[in-house]
Chains A and B, each alone.
Chain A
Amino acid sequence: MKNLSFHYLEAMEPALNNISITIKEGDFTVICGPSGCGKTTLLSLLKKEIAPAGELEGTLTYLGKALSEWDDRTLIEEIGFVFQDPDNQIIMDDVMQEMVFGMENLGYSNLEMRKRVAELVHFFGMEGLLKAKPSELSGGQKQLLNLLSVLLLKPKVLLLDEPTSQLDPVAAKNLILMLERLNKEMGMTTLLVEHRLEELFAIADHVIVMDKGFVRYEGESRDIIEAIFQNNDERAIPYVPSISQLYMKKAQYLEKTSIPLTVKECRSWIRTVSPLMSTEQKAANDKNESILSLQEVYFQYTKKTPYILKNLALEVKQGEFYTIVGGNGSGKSTLLKACIGNIKPQRGRVLFREKETSKLKGKALYNNFAYLPQNPKTYFIHDTIDKEMQEVVEQKKIDNGEEKIVEMLCTFEIEHIRHQHPYDCSGGEMQKAALACMLLGSPTILFIDEPTKGLDPLSKQHFARLLKQLHQKGLTIVMVTHDIEFAAKYAERCAMMFDGAIMAEGTPTELFQGNYFYTTSVNRATSGSGLTGTLTLEEALASWPNHVPI
């Protein structure tokens, strides 16, 4: 790819600016950067069938020949593309049909199809799922299915657009392991756009950091980390894995070759540092009366399916930031639905200030509750955010609404999208806009479902800062998430959900320390050393000894 620039139609600024990248055969390349930096545009330009409409300057070459000179069929076969959302890219209503969809279109013989399916299904270990319906699969399984159906065409290059952004940590790790295996065992050239980078830096041969349509950094993982820290680039630092950040900030003699990328490397480095530190515990705060309480809640969707919630008890106090973590299918989202009274449990009670939530109606409901769903698209009913906010003002009869609206827009830093259609905004912006609308009515309690899905590290930081502000103003927040790093950093009290019940509850430190999976990578790297008990980078930095004797 050489001197590539790309303009979207009707756009003033180019989405991509003079980009030159060469990707070698067999490389595992990771592209990262904040939302809207052009990484997805870049990726889709490489796949001719879905290339966005616009003005393209420069040349794209594949195996020494310009992309436009290749015939369609070869390109479809040789360049595979996996999309972000696991649901949207599934076309057929049957796993088997879905797998062979691509091959059917290209008119392969039945022998060839059977051969490929047999081989790859076995490699993926998906034999048990062949007869299933896509709607019965978990997100992780869906994404593996998507990868598998692309691989059946035997591509030489694999392009993936944030494939793990909708998955929980365990499923995401599975997918990444699969990609690593494909790359190592078959030499598959892989080009991955991703936000979640903790593990990817260790796997990648080649990392590209983009911003505003430019390539900022390009090279091997360690070179890039070094370059970012040398420039002290605030916008890029959040992308560096936290264990490497720890090293860059605290190691005495920086050596490029020993920058730790994996937990293993970090542990061996920490071992060379003398354990001197003491960790202070965050003081848990006992306060206020309970605002929401669940008592012995049991719930099942139909009579014949197993209970999703079993003997679940939970108490949230006024002004608390409460987080619930747990894997896919542990019942987190169902729990949240029970909290907001959207489902009525078969047994047990869900009380909001001594009243059952499922019986709350009208004003008692919308003046107290706010619920930010996983997908904020479900919230908007009007074609601009402005109209949306006006409607809330009208419904709740808020005095001097206009002032309030402006104030909200300012706090959330979204004045620039006030007159846009919600669907035209980025995920992070849409989330903020929905939240702004809800908070106009100053609710008592805010429920959030997986807010960090698909957000880049920068927006995540912004979002967390906002939540913290709101929390300090006295808003009670109940959040469901699988992002442990996020929960560890900001929550006051955490609960771990497993098999339909709250298995453990406590401060983040109490809960996440020493776990294998449900913990942060910093904790995994430091447990057993002098830093035992630190969960987040910030904590590790704070409790780091000032003088490190070696």
Chain B
Amino acid sequence: MENGFRSYHPFVQFFYYICVGTLAFYFKHPLFLGTACLLMILVNVSHDRGKAVRQWIPALLVMSTLIIVLNPFLVSRGTNILFYFRGKQVTLEATIYGITMALTIVIILLLFISFNLILNGNRFLYIFARILPRTAFLTMLSIRFVPLLKKRLQEISAVQRIRGLSITEGSIRNRAKTGQLRTQILLTWSLDESMQTADSMKARGYGIGKKNPYIPYRLKKHDWGWMIALLALFSICIAGGALGYGKMIIYPKLGTLHFYPLDWVLFYAMLLLHSFPLIVEGREQLRWIFSK
């Protein structure tokens, strides 16, 4: 059985990702975004001790530096001029804007890394089976075929190599020819075999009537609880944003970083929303420690 964040209903998880993604584009405030980015890193660490994130760190760093450095050189809007570069003004506003943009993109990427870990395979299909049932079914079928075809291709290669039809030696023309022959065998063979798959589908009543999907996940009490909490926090953030809070004016003249009282409310709402997986995992950890 899965623990912590993973044990929640896919809808709750999906909704969490939608919220985080939307807010990343909605808030244009370096402090808000910086905090969100930090939280997303922590969320990723809580999934698998940061294994997946670690592979992405170089790419994320390179990309964000590029945006931060390039933006002020390409865009010269703004009033606070830092210095001139080849006769073009480099402004503070553009630099700050670059930072916010980089943060937004990093958050979105971190979100997808986490998404990949949590909503993989079945959970993903479960969500999309509601929206696009046929596509989801087709995806399932094709995913099933990948290992099958791979296995078959290996077998074919073994046999054909001994026959003297190799793709690793000989002229390019010959190699291409054998490669093509192998694919041809793979296709004929697989088509032949899939006739049985079709029979098997028919034998189990595919297409006889309306399909009623088996739902392996049930919305439990704590799912509802978090769903409502997330919804409330999300509405606060959106409403606050609509009133102009949680956003910093950048162009044409840089606004202030100062937080008004309502900014703080918004900030805490966002903090709570983003920490949802952390709270869940943390609570579970504490429970383990105290139950010993």
Say yes or no: A381 contacts B208, CB within 8 Å.
no
A80 to B204, CA, bound (A): 8
A102 lies within 8 A of B194 (CB): no
Chain B residue with the shortest CB-CB distance to A366: B164
Contact with A365, one of B122, B144, B158, B162 (Cβ below 8 angstroms): B162
Stretch in A62-70, A85-93, A498-506, A531-539 with 4+ CB within 8 Å of B: A85-93
Question: In B138-178, which residues have CB < 8 Å from any A CB?
Answer: 140-141, 143-144, 147-148, 151-152, 155-166, 169-170
* Nearest CB in chain B: distance from A355 CB, A: 15
- Contact assessment for B212 and A107 in the assembled complex, using a CB-CB cutoff below 8 Å: yes
A110, B205: Cβ atoms under 8 Å? Answer: no
Q: Mark A346-370, 1 if CB is under 8 A from B, else 0.
A: 0000000000000001110110011
- A contact residues, range: 35 or more
In Å, the complex CA distance between A342 and B161 comes to 8
Which residues of the partner chain A approach B144 to less than 8 Å between Cβ atoms?
90-93, 134
Given contacts A87-B148, A365-B164, contact A93 B212 (CB under 8 A): no
Inter-subunit contact A366/B147 (CB<8 Å): no
Given A337-B158, A361-B169, A365-B164, does the pair A72, B208 have CB atoms closer than 8 Å? yes
| Interface presence of A460 (CB below 8 A) | no
Q: Which residue of the partner chain A has the closest CB to B192?
A: A423
Per the bound structure, the CA–CA distance linking A81 and B202 in Å amounts to 10
Q: Is the CB of A377 within 8 A of B166?
A: no
Residues on B with C-beta less than 8 A from A73 are 205, 208-209
Given contacts A104-B213, A361-B169, are A91 and B194 in contact (CB under 8 A)? no
Measured CB to CB, the nearest residue on chain B to A374 is B155
User: Is the CB–CB distance between B152 and A378 below 8 Å?
Assistant: yes
User: What is the CA–CA distance of A404 and B18 in the complex, to the nearest angstrom?
Assistant: 71
A50 and B208 within 8 A (CB):
no
A88-B193, A135-B148, A378-B189 known; A107 vs B200 contact (CB < 8 Å) = no
Q: Which residue of A lies closest to B144 (CB)?
A: A93
B116 at the interface (CB under 8 A from A): no
Cα A184 to Cα B211 with chains together (Å): 33
Q: Which residues of A contact B122 (CB under 8 A)?
A: 94, 96-97
A101 part of interface (Cβ distance < 8 Å): yes
Whether the pair B162, A366 counts as a contact (CB closer than 8 A) is yes
Shortest Cβ distance from residue B120 to the other chain A in the assembled complex, whole angstroms: 11
**Chain A nearest Cβ from B229, distance in angstroms:** 27
Interfacial chain B residues near A363, Cβ < 8 Å: 164
Q: Does B185 contact A381, Cβ atoms closer than 8 Å?
A: yes
Judge whether B199 and A83 touch: CB under 8 Å.
yes
- CB-contact partner of A149 in B192, B196, B202, B204, under 8 A: B204
Interface check B121, CB cutoff 8 A: yes
Residues from chain B with Cβ under 8 Å of A373 in the complex: 155, 158-159
Q: Which residue of B lies closest to A150 (CB)?
A: B204
Q: Which residues does chain A contribute within 8 Å of B141, judged by CB atoms?
A: 91-93
CA distance A398 to B96 in the complex (A): 78
CB interface residues, A 75-129, toward B, < 8 Å: 76-77, 80-81, 83-85, 87-94, 96-97, 100-110, 113
Complex: A49 Cα to B201 Cα, angstroms: 10
Contact of B200 among A76, A83, A93, A94 (CB under 8 A): A83
- Rounded to whole angstroms, the CA-CA distance of A374 and B212 in the bound complex is 39
Cross-chain contact B164 with A83 (CB below 8 angstroms):
no
CB distance from B175 to the nearest CB of A (A): 13
How far is B34's CA from A380's CA once the two chains are assembled, in angstroms?
62
Q: Provide the bound-state CA to CA distance between A92 and B199, in Å.
A: 14
Q: Which residues of B contact A50 (CB under 8 A)?
A: 199, 202-203
Task: Determine the distance from Cα of A88 to Cα of B147 in the docked complex, in whole angstroms.
Answer: 13
Residues of chain B within 8 A of A337, CB atoms compared: 158
**At the interface, yes or no: A160 with Cβ under 8 Å from chain B?**
no
A395 within 8 A of B: yes
B121, B197, B205: the one contacting A105 at CB < 8 Å is: B205
Cβ of A426 < 8 Å from any Cβ of B?
no
B-chain residues with CB within 8 Å of residue A342 when the two chains form the complex: 157-158, 161-162
Q: Judge if B188 is at the interface, Cβ distance under 8 Å.
A: yes
- Verify if A47 is at the interface (C-beta below 8 Å from B): yes
Contact yes or no, B162 A377, CB < 8 A? no
Contact of A89 among B143, B157, B196 (CB under 8 A): B196
Is A490 part of the contact surface with B, judged by Cβ < 8 Å? no
* Contacting pair B152 A106 (CB below 8 A): no
The answer to whether B193 touches A85, judged by C-beta atoms less than 8 angstroms apart, is yes
- Across the interface, do B121 and A395 meet the contact criterion of CB distance under 8 Å? no
Given that A85-B196, A88-B194, A361-B169 are known contacts, is A49 also in contact with B215, CB under 8 Å in the complex?
A: no
Q: Does B181 contact A (CB under 8 A)?
A: yes
Contact between chains at B164 and A102 (CB < 8 Å): no
The reply to whether the CB of A153 lies closer than 8 angstroms to some CB of chain B is yes
Q: Is the pair B159, A366 in contact by a Cβ cutoff of 8 Å?
A: no
A503–chain B nearest beta-carbon distance, Å: 25
The contact string, 1 if C-beta is below 8 Å from chain B, for chain A 370-408, is: 110111011111000000000000010000000000000
Contact indicator B201/A91 (Cβ below 8 Å): yes
Q: How far is the CA of A70 from the CA of B126 in the complex (A)?
A: 35
Q: By the criterion CB–CB under 8 Å, are B164 and A362 in contact?
A: yes
Most buried by A among B143, B151, B188, B203: B203
- The answer to whether A81 and B205 touch (CB under 8 A), given A88-B197, A96-B216, A370-B162, is no
B207 at the interface (CB under 8 A from A): yes
Q: Are A91 and B208 in contact (CB under 8 A)?
A: no
With A97-B122, A110-B215 as known contacts, state yes or no: A105 contacts B155, CB within 8 Å.
no
Chain A residues whose C-beta falls within 8 Å of the C-beta of B169 in the assembled complex: 361-362
The answer to the question of B210 belonging to the interface, with a C-beta cut-off of 8 Å to chain A, is yes
Residues of B within 8 A of A107 (CB): 209-212
A160 to chain B, nearest CB (A): 12
User: Judging by beta carbons under 8 Å apart, are B161 and A365 in contact?
Assistant: yes
Q: Which B252-275 residues have a C-beta within 8 angstroms of A?
A: none
**Which residues of B sit under 8 angstroms from A85, Cβ to Cβ?**
193, 196
- The chain B residue with its CB closest to the CB of A364 is B164
Q: What CA separation (Å) do A464 and B143 show in the bound complex?
A: 40
Take A49-B202, A106-B205 as given contacts and tell me if A377 and B192 are in contact as well, using a CB distance cutoff of 8 Å.
Answer: yes
Note all chain A residues with C-beta closer than 8 A to B159: 371, 373, 378-379
The reply to whether the CB of B214 lies closer than 8 angstroms to some CB of chain A is yes
Q: A512 CA to B166 CA in the complex, in Å? A: 40
Residue of A nearest to B218 (CB): A110
A133 at the interface (CB under 8 A from B): yes
Min C-beta distance of A117 to chain B, whole Å? 8
Chain B residues whose CB sits within 8 angstroms of the CB of A49 once the complex forms: 199, 202-203, 205
State whether the Cβ of B184 lies closer than 8 Å to any Cβ in chain A: yes
Q: Which of B207-261 contact A (CB under 8 A)?
A: 207-216
Q: Tell me, yes or no, whether B206 is within 8 Å of chain A by CB.
A: yes
Residues of A whose CB lies within 8 Å of any CB of B are 47, 49-50, 72-73, 76-77, 80-81, 83-85, 87-94, 96-97, 100-110, 113, 133-135, 149-150, 153, 337, 340, 342, 361-363, 365-366, 369-371, 373-375, 377-381, 395, 423
Q: What are 13 A-B interface contacts by the 8 Å CB criterion?
A: A49-B199, A72-B208, A91-B144, A105-B204, A107-B211, A110-B215, A135-B151, A150-B204, A153-B204, A153-B205, A340-B161, A342-B162, A381-B160
Closest 7 pairs (CB-CB, A-B) = A366-B164, A102-B204, A89-B200, A135-B147, A88-B196, A93-B144, A100-B214
* Contacts A47-B203, A77-B205, A342-B157 supplied; 6 other A-B pairs, CB < 8 Å: A76-B208, A101-B206, A133-B147, A135-B147, A340-B162, A362-B169
